[in-house]
A and B are shown apart, each in its own frame.
Chain A
Amino acid sequence: MIDVLAAPPFPEALSSAAGWSQWLDAVSWRLAPYLAPDKIATAVAIAVFAWIMFASQRKARRGVEIPIRRLAGLDALDEAIGRATEMGRPVLYVPGTDEIKEIQTIYSMMILRHVARKTAEYGTPIIVPTKNAVVMAFAEEAVRQGCADAGRPDAFVADNIRYLSDEQFAYCAGIAGIMYREKPAANIYMGMFYAEALILAETGFLGGAIQVAGTSRMEQLPAFVAACDYTIMGEEYFAVTAYLTREPSLVGTIRAGDVVKIAAIALFLVGTWLATAAPAGAAGPTWSSVYERLFG
């Protein structure tokens, strides 16, 4: 399959950048019929990530402690619930505006279980408005389990888990109505939000409630940061569930992401150093250009 005559030759020596560049040419030419050479770096990244993920999961399952840093927004959750209890007012938990197929909604249910345990411990009512009948069923289950976790199964009030509307703005108006009438002392927004984030955060702010928000959706974070007291942003959102549940598979995934991030930092710092050190306007390949080629 390989036309040996047309194949670029291997270099004589590998002592210079030019030699390495020629070596890369020769190797990728020979690999091309079997594997896309520009995608090798991607394959390595996937393999390394998978390996660390499985290793960390195994470690976590064996009971080795992998620490997870405390998130300011999480401390705020307890504070918010405590304040609601002092004031004798309920806690409002909004699980986002998407369906259960959205991963953030699933994670929101795990957080809800934790929040419901706390409110049950304090004996504070928790109101959960939902935009979707399926989400409502999941939310009911989460709150019920949370109450059970606290040893207070009687604290579960089915009427407080409400289906409002499938229409985005009608759902939003319904939540605003709850904020006006029942005056929750703490509003917790966790999950996937769209344009309504702005209106919710505004209405909640005017009601004077302490507000904690969390979403991995960047578009809506500005509204939450500007109008809420604490915000769990971006990737932090996924760490919350790992932190709360300590489930080995989640912890292992977070760990693998961390290690790859550190590797990424190291890799581009080396590249930046090589690029800065490279002679300006060099004609042939430099160490920097050879290094850059490794990334496809």
Chain B
Amino acid sequence: MKREIPILLTVICGLLVVAAFFAPAPDAARGLQPSVWQAINSELLEWAKILVAVAFLLGIANVVRINLRQIQARHVDRPYKVVLLLSMFAFLVVGLAEMHERDLPNGIVRVLVPADHVTMKDGHVVAGWVQGATETGIRMRDSDGHDLPEIPHDQVALVSEPSAKMWVYFKIFAPLQATMFSLLAFYVASATFRAFRARSFESTLLLVAGAVVMLGQVKIGNDLTGGMAAPVEAFLMDNFVKAAERAIAIGGSLGVLATGLRIVLGLERSYLSE
């Protein structure tokens, strides 16, 4: 039972999604309506989407558990682990508050969500929390949770909606992630000098093709080679690279097909023995 039902689920859902792929497409011009296949496919994909999200949220529990354990064990990096957990929870709280601004009690919103400001054309500024826009104007709520009179669109000069979530994104998350990846430029430089060797015919070809692409992509490289680099690079990319990448795509599809078939037909079970 513990094994059979999951496999049965895999097989049924898999076959339904495969069937929906081949099901007739709706065609309004011919009066072909969406069929029940489209409904099943849509809802199954929706299930998968929800489960992927929930599984990810479970991952948070893991992050907390691992880091708490390291903090308890007085790991050398203990202060950093504390920073990790604190920054994570602080950001989660702020983000959730902004997301649920309309559902949360007024007191919490006042503390956690920065107030919006609507500047009117006459220079007058209204502070509060924007609740949404209607056809006619902007609805706002004041700091006591009371609805303000709707502000007509034609009187509004500027709406400023500050967001702590966006601020953290652009001032902390974005620069950190971008810089982490830009470190690779340095690593590539070091590796090319110290380890990339034309020791065989194959690696020589690789290095030459790499150099041609690097020179052909930029103006100075092209100028230095008397305009040769760009056309050579284009020929290389359009024909040699296209051929190799196409072969790789075909091979990759066969790999996906093989694994997919085995899973959908219930022959592959390794994913259950986690």
Contact = CB atoms under 8 A, between A and B. Distances in A.
So, do A and B actually touch in the complex, CB under 8 Å?
Answer: yes
A36 B19 CA distance: 11
B22 A218 contact: no
Interface string A71-104: 0000000000000000000000000000011010
A32 interface: yes
Nearest to A206: B194
B187 interface: yes
Given A201-B195, A205-B195, A34 B261 contact: no
Interface string A40-66: 001101100110010000000000000
Contacts of A293: none
Contact of B270 (A106, A198, A205): A106
Interface stretch (B86-94, B132-140, B196-204): B196-204
Contact of B30 (A32, A39, A46): A32
A82 B251 CA distance: 33
What does DSSP make chain A's interface, helix, strand, loop or mixed? helix
Given A33-B24, A227-B191, A46 B257 contact: yes
Contacts of B192: 226
Given A49-B257, A101-B271, A195-B184, A201 B27 contact: no
B254 A227 contact: no
A225 B248 contact: no
Interface of B: 21-25, 27, 30, 32, 66, 184, 187-188, 190-192, 194-197, 199, 202-203, 206-207, 210, 248, 250-251, 254-255, 257-259, 261-262, 265, 267, 270-271, 274
Given A201-B195, A235-B251, A260-B254, 5 more contacts: A6-B30, A198-B184, A199-B187, A218-B248, A226-B191
Interface of A: 3, 6, 32-36, 39, 42-43, 45-46, 49-50, 53, 100-101, 103, 106, 166, 195, 198-199, 201-202, 205-206, 216, 218, 222-223, 225-227, 229, 234-235, 238, 249, 253, 256-257, 260-261, 264
16 contacts: A35-B22, A36-B25, A46-B257, A50-B261, A53-B258, A103-B259, A195-B184, A201-B195, A202-B195, A206-B194, A206-B195, A226-B207, A229-B199, A235-B255, A256-B254, A257-B258
